[in-house]
């Protein structure tokens, strides 16, 4: 599935921290790597950020030349340790539309990008822009938070054990095909996680109330949740998944906190989740649970937007 991998960079060492992971994935999958930078025109602004003059053609041309040299230097660095098919491209702003258009034009299967950084990198990927990449991408996006205390290249993530939160919906399960294709390259183990809400009776203090009705309801809920996860695990095995598939049900009021805590407690390597889960209270919506997980973890997160993919295919 992953034969064409895109990594956006912007000239910062923080954006380059995803390179070792991309190189590792590309070698395992024999994939083409697309090193891409988006050129943003240089316009002088005042202290309030308002432009004070028009584009300087010479300064802009010089900036383009530096960016092209930078991309070529990166390409040589990535390919220095062995044969890899790496292309370089300098695109024109705006950033998000340029990257999404490149995905389509070059049949990219996976985008890998770091999500936080300082300096020039921060203006591209922090906050709403990273969200927009995920929202607009019809392919999986692997988000990796860089180590800001060590801006140099870091060791690639092993991806030996991947956490997959599910909420019982088909949309949440859309991540399964993508993460299994990813995990097959890494010989990964998978844990399917279901976050169930604790049983409460209306009008009772949930901390103080413990009774037969609550105990019975929670037992039934856990049985149903566990049975669902076992069915999913069995389906994966019947589809030929070679890696070990574990299942786990946890109780929590906040799904994101439970996912983050589970990943910490079990020393997992990555999290994979769909950005929408329409069953029940839409627990995996980007902007709520998925967004909180992405922002709250230091682990790589593989994100997929199934509803957007269906809409794009319908339009075609």
Superfamily per CATH, domain 4-144: HUPs (3.40.50.620)
Strand arrangement of the beta sheet that strand 270-274 belongs to: 86-92, 32-39, 4-9, 110-114, 141-144, 301-304, 270-274, 161-166, 189-196, 245-251
Q: Judge if 4-144 and 161-315 fold alike in CATH terms.
A: yes
- Mean pLDDT, consecutive 10-residue stretches, the chain (316 aa), reads 94 89 94 95 68 75 95 94 92 93 97 68 49 87 80 73 94 94 92 85 53 69 93 93 90 93 97 69 56 90 77 46
Beta strands at 141-144 and 110-114: parallel, antiparallel or unpaired: parallel
Give pTM, 2 decimals. 0.85
Domain coordinates in residue numbering, the chain: 4-144, 161-315
The pLDDT assigned to 299 comes to 94
Count the Cβ atoms, other than its own, within 10 Å of residue 312: 13
Cβ-proximal residues to 120 (8 Å cutoff; 6+ apart), any chain: 10, 11, 12
The pLDDT assigned to 121 comes to 42
CA dist., res. 17 & res. 155, Å (int): 9
CATH of 161-315, one of 3.50.50.60, 1.10.630.10, 3.40.50.620, 3.40.50.2000: 3.40.50.620
Stated length of the chain: 316
The pLDDT assigned to 277 comes to 38
Q: Which tokens is 239 given?
A: 């589809």
The pLDDT assigned to 165 comes to 96
């Amino acid at each position: 599935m992953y034969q064409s991998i895109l990594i956006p960079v912007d000239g910062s060492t923080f954006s380059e921290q995803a390179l070792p992971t991309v190189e590792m994935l590309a070698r395992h999958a024999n994939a083409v790597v697309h090193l891409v930078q988006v050129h943003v025109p240089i316009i002088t602004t005042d202290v309030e950020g308002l432009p004070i003059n028009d584009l300087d053609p010479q300064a802009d041309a010089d900036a383009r030349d530096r960016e092209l040299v930078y991309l070529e230097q990166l390409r040589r660095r990535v390919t220095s340790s062995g044969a890899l098919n790496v292309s370089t491209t300098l695109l024109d702003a705006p950033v998000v539309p340029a990257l999404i258009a490149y995905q389509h034009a070059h049949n990219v299967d996976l985008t890998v990008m770091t999500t936080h950084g300082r300096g020039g990198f921060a203006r591209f990927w922090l906050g709403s822009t990273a969200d927009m990449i995920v929202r607009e991408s019809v392919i999986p996006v692997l988000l990796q938070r860089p180590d800001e205390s060590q801006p140099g290249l870091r060791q690639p993530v092993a991806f030996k054990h991947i956490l997959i939160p599910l909420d019982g919906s088909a949309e949440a399960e859309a991540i399964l095909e993508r993460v299994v294709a990813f995990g097959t390259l890494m010989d990964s183990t998978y844990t399917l996680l279901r976050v169930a809400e604790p049983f409460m009776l209306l009008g009772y203090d949930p901390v103080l109330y413990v009774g037969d009705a609550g105990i019975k309801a929670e037992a039934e809920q856990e049985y149903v949740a566990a049975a669902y996860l076992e069915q999913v695990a069995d389906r994966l095995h019947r589809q030929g998944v070679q890696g070990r598939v574990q299942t786990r049900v946890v109780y929590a009021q906040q799904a994101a906190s439970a996912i983050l805590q589970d990943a910490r407690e079990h020393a997992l390597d990555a999290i994979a989740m769909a950005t929408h889960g329409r069953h029940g209270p839409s627990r995996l919506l980007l902007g709520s649970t998925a967004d909180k997980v992405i922002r709250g973890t230091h682990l790589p997160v593989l994100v997929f937007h199934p509803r957007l993919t269906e809409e794009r295919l319908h339009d075609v």
